Chains A and B, each alone.
Chain A
Amino acid sequence: MDQWISQIEQWFHQQPVEQIYVAVAVLALTVVLFVLFSLLKTSKSNTIVLAGLNGSGKTILFYQLRDGSPHQGTVTSMEPNDGTFVLHSELGKKGKIKPVHLVDVPGHSRLKPKLDEFLPNAAGLIFVVDALDFLPNCRPAAEYLYDILTKSSVVKRRIPVLILCNKTDKVTAHSKEFIRKQLEKEIDKLRTSRNAISTADISDEFMLGVPGEPFTLEQCRNKVTVAEASGLTGEVSQVEQFIREHVKP
């Protein structure tokens, strides 16, 4: 052991000084370049958040995306479902596919604060709406959507939102156009009533849309789109498209 060390020291002292300086400089440069690249490469998160009212089908959608089948059904979630995986439909694909971190946040009103834990890291948000039972829940759904769209973490980082009309396999489900119009109307009304009070514990931090004009989803600063899906039968192609769009491989 000592022999090796002494040998190395001898060899070291034999080199000319410039070479050592050059070697060190090259090393430092590579390190700096590496650090710069890793910082500049926008480390985009791969988190997609599933949110929506109680009973809209988020947990089924989560398992559909993960395993391709809803298993034996679900009950009201008490805790968020969290998983990082490659989408089931893409398992067969070749090549390097980036796994998606999917989070399903419970929709029960008492558990709403949990959403705030996951929003700061989200690359996209899927707002699941029950297309079957839409009209009785229109106002709570619109309120929840309004709360999400006015949160500072959503607006500042321009998180894209997909409004997903779930349960479209049933005959009496509403169309996505109808749902979109209804939500826009409700949010318009909410705008006027919410902006009349400066809320103390509702975090109404941003004004939605253009005052004076009726609200449309295009007026949001972040991109909001509407799509249809059915969690039970597995018709989730539009969802997967959205996910792939925003979690770049």
Chain B
Amino acid sequence: MLEQLLIFTRGGLILWSSCRGLGNALKGSPIDALIRSCLLEERSAETSFAHDAYTLKWAFHNELGLVFVAVYQRILHLLYVDDLLAAVRREFAEIYDPKRTSYDDFDETFRQLQKEAEARAEEMKKSKQAGRAPAVPGKKQGAGGAAQRDAKQKGNGAGGGGSGKDDGDGDGDSGKGRWLANGNGNGQEKGARERSHAPPGSVVVKGKENGGPQAGAFDVNKLQKLRSKGGKKSDNTKPASKGGEPKKIVKKNRVWDDSPSESRLDFTDPVDERGEGIVEAVAADQGESMMDKEEDLSSESEAEEEDEEVEGAKPGAKKKGWFTSMFQSIAGNAIIEKSDLQPALKALKDRLMTKNVAEEIAEKLCESVAASLEGKKLGSFTRISSTVQTAMEEALLRILTPKRSIDILREVHAAKEHGKPYVIVFVGVNGVGKSTNLAKVAYWLLQHNISVMLAACDTFRSGAVEQLRTHARRLQIPIFEKGYEKDPAVVAREAIQEASRNKSDVVLVDTAGRMQDNEPLMRALSKLINLNSPDLVLFVGEALVGNDAVDQLSKFNQKLADLSTVPNARLIDGILLTKFDTIDDKVGAALSMVYISGAPVMFVGCGQSYTDLKKLNVKSIVKTLLK
């Protein structure tokens, strides 16, 4: 049954609550979690949100600035909630008065509405049940069948299901298979479920883009599948690598053209064994790192130019008389309908996509903006396109504003007081610029009189350790390395111990690039992070990435959460955006990454020399995105 239905203003005052006298009898204040992680993160276009043991659904009344939230137990699949929310919204809008703060008379109306909605749902369930063969034995028939029908009803599988949204999981499961798993999940004991849900549940709040009650539901089955798959994969790679090693010695070098083969390919200077070498250390001043320079924004005119295509959002929409629509736009009484918003939103979405924002993210953002504008009255003399533009600008500003402090220096100082080194781990896929930007961050920290140590935990790629050694020599900082083919987690641990011994303030850990789908490598990464609990996990992503950014980040977060050993899994704490100088104004990758992971952009790499490290300027990015 419905645990609670809450009506509150956007300013935060609770106007009416269905369970009075018990105070907030819900565990863990799910409403606050909903606001913080969903509505304020511009995910208000999703249909439900899962938190701990509850599922929450909501509806807005944008004109009056009210929010209606229904909370119920996650294991129940109540179908009448959406209807109930719509009915409640209708009724309450009639009795709402901005001056009143208590609405006790609404209790009666609510009870009535609830009974009606439940009755309607029962009817539909019964009629469906009569016409269906039992789907799977041992499943709660009513819930399963009705829920499936519900999914079909909603068309895009929104409802109580995550069927349309499992892009992050990349599953090709048929809908039936999913509901099967769901039914099994229902049949399980609550205790077991809660255990398996707690980690994904809490991660859903941070990492996953989808409301994932159902994604959590069949995670158990998925994990089992993955475990068997993963086992097979690791078995395959092990013999392959073992076979590869002895083979390498015997293999002849391939000659592509007729040039004589090189006699030796190992160019490391023999003197370099101790790290001193022929190469001179750089005079530690290449100038101020761009992190410390003020950005001077060119004062462009604030007025945006209207797009020709967006003009007249009205033609093609409802056939209002020309005079009525003109009059309404002047008098400011037109209520915004969804159909009016569509052309403006479509234009905006296309504009965002031309700026390299991932398609999915642009879609979600536009839906969220639509949800927040529907039902509002247009101000006088404003066109729909400008209202949509302002709303989108606000939404973008909100998403890109960091949720946590990005002041690394402060945190380093705090860690220094505790006597521990501050550990930063750089993770990412292959070739995004981890080692280069690691050196840039080291340079910046050095400029602020912080002692840095590098840890070469990329023990796979040839030349990775030498690369870091060269940087360390040029910057004159210690480096901890153990060569190749060692376990990176152990190398990292020893590096941190070494750092605390020689009193370094910061340890920068370089890891090997890995694809997000590569199970054993992700497991190794997870092991590194679990073993060493770094202070900051920086995901390095390149600004050139397109739709793959969504996949990369969500899979990284998911794997870190799934394979973590502690209940509060360490996820990606920050993003380092690289190769920013190669994109002119196609800055959308920043938006996609921040939206999908919720982590702020801490640094931006904009070149290949030591000083090319900047902070993200939120206002200029928003301006560029909407230009």
Contacts and interface: CB of A to CB of B under 8 A. Distances in A.
Interface of A: 54-55, 59, 63, 67, 71-81, 104, 106, 108-113, 139-140, 143, 189-190, 192-194, 196-198, 200-202
Contacts of B177: none
B11 A80 contact: yes
B391 interface: no
B413 A72 contact: no
Contacts of A190: 410
B615 interface: yes
A79 B6 CA distance: 18
B295 A110 contact: no
B46 to A, nearest CB: 16
Interface in B393-415: 397-399, 401-405, 407, 409-410, 413-414
B398 A197 contact: no
Most-contacted residue by chain B among A67, A73, A104, A189 (CB, 10 A): A73
B24 A73 contact: yes
B556 to A, nearest CB: 23
Interface in B406-434: 407, 409-410, 413-414
B15 A79 contact: no
Given A109-B404, A111-B40, A197-B448, 16 more contacts: A75-B6, A75-B14, A76-B31, A77-B11, A79-B11, A106-B12, A108-B40, A111-B398, A143-B405, A190-B410, A193-B407, A196-B409, A196-B448, A198-B294, A200-B617, A201-B295
B17 interface: yes
10 contacts: A71-B13, A72-B13, A104-B11, A109-B401, A110-B399, A110-B401, A113-B397, A139-B414, A194-B410, A201-B617
B581 interface: no
Nearest to A196: B448
A76 B36 contact: yes
Contacts of B36: 54, 76, 108
Contacts of B32: 55, 75-76
B35 interface: yes
A78 B35 contact: yes
A51 B36 CA distance: 18
Interface string B606-627: 0000000011011000000000
A59 B407 contact: no
B8 interface: yes
A193 to B, nearest CB: 5
A18 B6 CA distance: 76
Nearest to A54: B36
Contacts of B292: 197-198, 200
Contact of B12 (A67, A75, A192, A193): A75
B490 interface: no
Most-contacted residue by chain B among A81, A104, A196, A202 (CB, 10 A): A196
Most-contacted residue by chain B among A63, A75, A140, A189 (CB, 10 A): A75
B456 to A, nearest CB: 28
A189 B413 contact: yes
Contacts of B398: 110-111
B291 interface: yes
Contact of A71 (B14, B40, B405): B14
A15 B398 CA distance: 70
Contacts of A78: 10-12, 35, 39-40, 67
Interface residues of B, number: 47
B248 interface: no
Contacts of B109: none
Contact of B615 (A54, A67, A143, A201): A201
Contacts of A112: 401
A111 B10 CA distance: 13
Contacts of A200: 291-295, 614-615, 617
B386 interface: no
Given A78-B35, A109-B403, A200-B294, A59 B13 contact: yes
A52 to B, nearest CB: 13
B24 A79 contact: no
A170 to B, nearest CB: 15
B466 to A, nearest CB: 32
A113 B40 CA distance: 14
Contacts of B582: none
Contacts of B407: 143, 193-194, 202
A76 B294 CA distance: 34
Interface of B: 6, 8, 10-17, 20, 23-24, 31-32, 35-36, 39-41, 65, 67, 101-102, 291-295, 397-399, 401-405, 407, 409-410, 413-414, 448, 614-615, 617-618
Contacts of A73: 14, 17, 23-24
Nearest to A63: B13
Contacts of B402: 109
Given A198-B292, A198-B294, A200-B294, A79 B65 contact: yes
A75 B614 CA distance: 37
A67 B13 contact: no
Given A110-B401, A112-B401, A72 B17 contact: yes
Nearest to B290: A200
Contacts of B15: 72
A76 B11 contact: no
Contacts of A201: 295, 615, 617-618
Contacts of B40: 78, 108, 110-111
Contacts of A109: 401-404
Contacts of A140: 405
Most-contacted residue by chain B among A73, A78, A198 (CB, 10 A): A78
Please provide the 6 A-B residue pairs with the shortest distance between their CB atoms, ordered closest to farther. Answer: A77-B12, A81-B11, A59-B12, A79-B10, A76-B35, A72-B14
A72 B102 CA distance: 8
Contacts of B294: 198, 200
A85 B216 CA distance: 49
B397 A197 contact: no
Nearest to B617: A201
Contacts of B614: 200
Contacts of A55: 32
A233 to B, nearest CB: 15
Contact of B31 (A72, A75, A194, A196): A75
A104 B8 CA distance: 16
Contacts of A110: 40-41, 398-399, 401, 403
B188 to A, nearest CB: 32
A74 B618 CA distance: 31
A90 to B, nearest CB: 19
A73 B31 CA distance: 12
A64 to B, nearest CB: 12
A55 B8 CA distance: 16
A139 B404 CA distance: 11
B102 A193 contact: no
B102 A75 contact: no
Given A140-B405, A189-B413, A197 B291 contact: yes
Contacts of B65: 79
Contacts of B409: 193, 196-197
Nearest to A76: B35
Nearest to A140: B405
Contacts of A111: 40, 398
A202 B406 CA distance: 10
Nearest to B32: A76
Contacts of B403: 109-110
A111 B401 CA distance: 8
A72 B402 CA distance: 31
Most-contacted residue by chain B among A72, A76, A201 (CB, 10 A): A72
B573 to A, nearest CB: 15
A139 B413 CA distance: 13
A67 B617 contact: no
